[in-house]
Amino acid sequence: MIVVNYLAAGALFCIGLYVVLTRRNLIKLVMGLSVMEASTYVLLISMAYRRGSTAPVFVSPPAGRSVTSLTHGGVADPVLQNFCLTAIVIGVAATAVFLSVVVRIAQHYRSIDADDVRGMRG
Amino acid sequence: MTDELADTEPRHRPGLGWALAAAVGALFAIGLVNLPREAAPLSAVAHQALTVAQPHWHTTEPVNEVVYGTRGFDTFGETFLLLAAVVSVVVLARRREPRYGYIGEEVEGSRERRGVAQGSRSDSGERAARAAEGGEQETYDAARPDTPDHEPLGVVRHETAHAMTVVTRNAAKTAAPILAVAGIYLCAWGYTPGGGFPAGAVLLGVVLLLYAGFGYPAISRAVRPGVVEVIELAGAVLIIAAEVLGLVFKGAVSENWLPLAPLQTIRAGGVAQVFSASELIEVGTGLIIAVFTILGMRHDWAGDDA
Amino acid sequence: MTGFWVMDYLCLALVLAAALMVVRIRNLAGAAMALSAMGTVLTLLFVVLGAPDDAHSEAVVGAIALPALYLIAIGKVRADVRGPGEQGKRRGPDDMDARR
């Protein structure tokens, strides 16, 4: 019942969304974005899983399976796993940029409270 | 000490936040329930990746073959997105005047400014004040010992030493090479799981370990903008070369143009292995630049009362 | 097969628990560590679901890259933001109560 994984990914996304919507602390807000990104990892890898599948690696297959049987199926979907790998890299890249913006805001506004920062200075 | 878990953290519109998150959750639940479950057959592109991995790329790791081989252009875009993120962090952290190094720049900047101000008309009062300020700055620099080993025990004071105590330094000295070899191993053997990106992040971990243990002066010779940025762009050029030569020789961007080594050897995988190694260089140095740029981020205007 | 689903659901529960800890913990450094814990448990989930490449990446990112970035950002922010907790109300310089 992989659908539990899917629903857990949706719940993780909502937790991250809640943090982004309600928290005033900008660093906590970036953490909420990281939680939302983590939900995409869970969803992608759960969709890559097939019933009774092992890792898509043709080195030393598990008991009772031969490499040729693995090439015909019975492994998780490598392409979706590549998408998750890309998502992890982009997650790190985005978090680095968000955090440097937050540090800049803290230096200019002396506060990282979203309500203080909202005032546009002329 | 207030209770750590008490959620008295300032927030706004929690009710609205709950409602919106619940609505998005309900929408997601409807969509997710109809996704193909684990009984669904593998997609055609997955079968193509599995069947083509061994004969065409001589690699026993289809995920690496997909990441660095058939979908190499996608990984090319992702790696250069990381490069763009690092460049934007560097631009965001840029100070007003041209910067010299990641940390210790304030000293450079103020020394340069003092040199320039010297020429302007200065009366005796200003010269005395400048001398006093110079003296104080020098004493602070000299006061920062290299290692805290000579500090008397039990003195409550702000830590000024660059490095940590001898125990931590030795632990870092032993752990760093082991972690570096483990990281490089992760990416070197292309036919097992692991690739350029995790190895690059391990490289960042090793550099941070040495930075924490020995302080910035110890690693400032290697971790300088002049050195690290050149290495990163060399990695980027290597990636572009590996991709475009595939177009030149074999007519497709991430096509393999290298002679194929036998299975399960270090050179197995053809151009995928070259791509993975150059991504190690680029991701490792890119993350190092991003982290040290944020570390050395100073005010980008004349510091006010602070 | 049931052993697989037990591990799968356990890892999912741990990931959701770590996410809730990220939300609830008020101390920023604590929340960064909770985020790192979530990364590590995600790695376990990837191993259970048969994704070794992503397990490598998530383990390294969750343990090294993200916590380093967050803790450095928290340190830099604390240097400029005065006040009781993470969000400094604009206080006079004399109001130096204990900073979290």
Going by pLDDT thresholds of 50, 70 and 90, the confidence category of residue C93 is very low
pLDDT at B250: 87
More confident residue, C81 or A9: A9
Residue pLDDT, tens place only, B38-74 = 888 888 888 888 888 778 888 888 888 888 888 888 9
Measure the CA–CA gap between B52 and B206, rounded to whole angstroms: 36
- Give the position of tokens 């073959």: B65
The string of pLDDT tens digits covering residues B117-145 is 555 555 677 777 767 776 766 666 566 77
C-alpha distances in Å from residue C15, one per residue of A35, B27, C5, C59: 10, 21, 15, 14
Contacts of B162 (CB under 8 A, 6+ apart): B144, B145, B146, B147, B214, B215, B216, B217, B218
B204/C87 touch (CB, cutoff 8 Å), yes or no: no
Quote the mean pLDDT of chain B: 82
Helix/strand/coil (H, E, C) string of B200-264?
HHHHHHHHHHHHHHHHHHHHCCCCCHHHHHHHHHHHHHHHHHHHHHHHHHHCCCCCCCCCCCCCC
Hey, are the CB atoms on A56 and B88 less than 8 Å from each other?
no
Question: Residue A39 domain-assigned?
Answer: yes
Question: Binning pLDDT at 50, 70 and 90, where does residue B258 land?
Answer: confident
Using the Cβ of A61 and the Cβ atoms of chain C, whether some distance falls under 8 Å is answered with no
Is there a contact between A92 and C54 if contact means CB atoms under 8 Å apart? no
- Shortest CB distance from B10 goes to which of C57, C63, C87? C87
Give the angle subtended at the CA of B134 by the CAs of B133 and B136, to the nearest 5°.
Answer: 65
In a domain, B181, yes or no: yes
**Total domains, chain A:** 1
With beta carbons under 8 A apart, name residues in chain A contacting C28: 25, 27-28
Residue B54 lies in a domain: no
CATH of the domain at A94: 1.10.287.3510
| Among C residues 62-81, those touching chain A with beta carbons less than 8 Å apart | 65-66, 69-70, 72-74, 76-77, 80-81
Q: In chain C, whose CA is at the least distance from the CA of B296?
A: C76
Mutate to test the interface with A, among C16, C41, C60, C81 (most CBs of A within 10 A): C81
Instruction: Determine which of C11, C69, C82 to mutate to test the interface with A (most A C-beta atoms within 10 Å).
Output: C69
For residue A119, what pLDDT is reported?
Answer: 67
The pLDDT value given to residue C99: 38
**CB neighbour list of residue B55: distance below 8 Å, 6 or more residues apart:** none
Note whether residue A60 is domain-resident: no
| CA gap A12, C15 in Å, rounded | 8
pLDDT tens digits, one per residue of A13-38: 999 999 999 988 999 999 999 999 99
Domain-embedded: residue B23: no
The answer to whether C99 contacts chain A (CB < 8 Å) is no
ipTM of the complex: 0.86
pLDDT over 90 (residue C74): yes
Chain C residue numbers touching B37 (CB-CB < 8 A): none
Contacts with B14 from chain A: Cβ below 8 Å? 22
- pLDDT for position C88: 41
For residues B165 and B290, the model is more confident at B290
Report the 3 state secondary structure along chain B: CCCCCCCCCCECCHHHHHHHHHHHHHHHHHHHHCCCCCCCCCCHHHHHHHHHHHHHHCCCCHHHHHHHHHCHHHHHHHHHHHHHHHHHHHHHCCCCCCCCCCCCHHHHHHHHHHHHHHHCCCCHHHHHHHHHHHHHHHHHHHHCCCCHHHCCCCCCCCCCCCCCCHHHHHHHHHHHHHHHHHHHHHHHCCCCCCCHHHHHHHHHHHHHHHHHHHHHHHHCCCCCHHHHHHHHHHHHHHHHHHHHHHHHHHCCCCCCCCCCCCCCCCCCCCHHHHHHHHHHHHHHHHHHHHHHHHHCCCCCCCCCCC
Q: What is the pLDDT of residue B6?
A: 45
Q: Which residues touch C17 (CB under 8 Å, ≥6 apart)?
A: none
Per the structure, the count of domains in chain B is: 1
Tokens representing C68 are 């380093």
The answer to whether residue B294 neighbours chain C at the CB level (below 8 Å) is yes
Q: pTM score, two decimals?
A: 0.85
Share of residues in chain B with pLDDT > 70 (%): 84
For A43, the domain range is: 2-53+73-119
Q: Quick one: which of B186, B163, B67 has its CA closest to A81?
A: B67
Distance of residue A66 Cα from the nearest chain C Cα, in angstroms: 17
Q: Hey, of C53, C70, C90, which one would you mutate to test binding to chain B, going by the most B CBs within 10 A of its CB?
A: C53
How close, in Å, is residue B149 to chain C by CA atoms? 25
Give dist(CA B272, CA B186) in Å, integer: 14
Amino acid (one-letter) located at C69: L
Chain C residue numbers with beta carbons less than 8 Å from the beta carbon of A57 are 52
Across A17-21, B230-234, C43-47, C90-94, least confident range: C90-94
The residue in chain A having the minimum alpha-carbon distance to the alpha carbon of residue B301 is A108
8 Å CB contact between B60 and A71: no
Residue A9 scores a pLDDT above 90: yes
The token duo for B301 is 């205007």
Residue B24, CA distances (Å) to B29, B121, C18 in order: 9, 67, 21
For residues C36 and C32, give the distance between their C-alpha atoms in angstroms, rounded to a whole number.
6
pLDDT digits (tens, 9 = 90+) for A56-114: 888 888 888 888 887 787 888 889 999 999 999 999 999 999 999 999 988 888 888 88
- CA of C37 vs chain A CAs: smallest distance (Å): 12
Q: C9 is written with which tokens?
A: 């659901």
CA distance B257 to B271: 7
**A74 near A65, Cβ under 8 Å?**
yes
Determine, yes or no, domain membership for A102: yes
> What is the predicted pLDDT for the residue at B266?
79
- Residue A95 to residue C74, Cβ atoms within 8 A: no
Residue of A nearest to C64 (CA): A92
The shortest C-alpha distance from A106 to chain C (Å) reads: 6
Asked whether residue A17 is domain-assigned, the answer is yes
The CA distance from C23 to A21, in Å, is 12
What B221-230 contacts at long range (C-beta under 8 Å, 24+ apart), as own/partner pairs, is B223/B102, B223/B288, B223/B292, B224/B101, B224/B102, B225/B99, B225/B101, B225/B102, B225/B289, B228/B285, B228/B288, B228/B289, B228/B292, B229/B285, B229/B289
Q: Is A98 on the interface with B (CB under 8 A)?
A: no
Domain that holds residue B265: 60-94+161-295
Window from A21-30, A44-53, B78-87, B115-124 with minimum mean pLDDT: B115-124
Closest-approach residue (CA) in chain B for A94: B85
pLDDT at B39: 83
String of b and e for A69-93 (b: at least 16 CB within 10 Å)?
ebbeebbbbbbbbbbbbbbbbbbbb
Which one of C43, C56, C72 makes the best mutation probe of the B interface by having the most chain B beta carbons within 10 Å? C56
Contacts of A113 in chain C (CB under 8 A): 87-88
Domain residue spans in chain C? 1-36
